[in-house]
């Protein structure tokens, strides 16, 4: 029995296997709590968590870099208004 198991914790391989789902907020309360508890005390798994968290911070930063070009917005509204006026598409 590993020390983690002796302490009533899940093993490193189980924590890492669920790391993505933990970060995606996709685990149930029980599993989520177990992974969280493990990461809080495990110096081996925490760097993996921290790395993936940095990845999400990065993708969140670049996520909104492109806005809809004004010409597309204008073109789209013109067409939608025209279709609406003609009663198209119903």
Partner 1 sequence: MAWAMLSGSTHDDVQPGRDRERPTERAGDEPELSKEGFSEEAIPWLDAVYRFALRLTEGDRDAAEDVAQETFLRAHRSWHQYRRGTNVKSWLFTICRNQYLHEAQRARSRRERPAADLDARVEALSAASAFERASPRPDREVFEGLIDDEVIAAIDALPQEFREVLALSDLGDLEYAEIGSVLGIPLGTVKSRLFRARRLLQDRLREYAVRSGYISGDER
Per the CB < 8 A criterion, the answer to whether 23 and 52 are in contact is yes
Least distance CB 59 / partner 1 (angstroms) = 4
Least distance CB 69 / partner 1 (angstroms) = 6
How many angstroms separate the CA atoms of 86 and 67, rounded? Answer: 29
Least distance CB 14 / partner 1 (angstroms) = 15
4: its two tokens: 């983690």
Instruction: Kindly tell me which of 14 and 23 has the beta carbon lying closer to partner 1.
Output: 23
Least distance CB 76 / partner 1 (angstroms) = 5
Residue 14, SS3 per DSSP: helix
Site residues (CB under 8 A) for partner 1? 3-4, 7, 12, 20-27, 32, 35-36, 39-44, 46-69, 71-73, 75-77, 79-81, 83-85, 88-90
Instruction: Kindly tell me which of 1 and 62 has the beta carbon lying closer to partner 1.
Output: 62
27: its two tokens: 């685990």
Q: Which residues contact 7 (CB under 8 A, 6 or more apart)?
A: none
């Amino acid at each position: 029995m590993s020390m983690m198991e002796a302490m009533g914790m899940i093993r490193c391989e189980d924590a890492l296997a669920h790391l993505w789902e933990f970060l995606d907020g996709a685990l149930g309360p029980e599993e989520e709590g177990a992974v969280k508890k493990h990461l809080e005390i495990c110096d081996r798994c925490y760097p993996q968590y921290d790395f993936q968290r940095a990845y999400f911070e990065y993708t969140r930063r670049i996520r909104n870099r492109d806005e809809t070009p004004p010409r597309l917005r204008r073109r789209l509204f013109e067409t939608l208004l025209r279709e609406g006026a003609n009663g198209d598409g119903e």
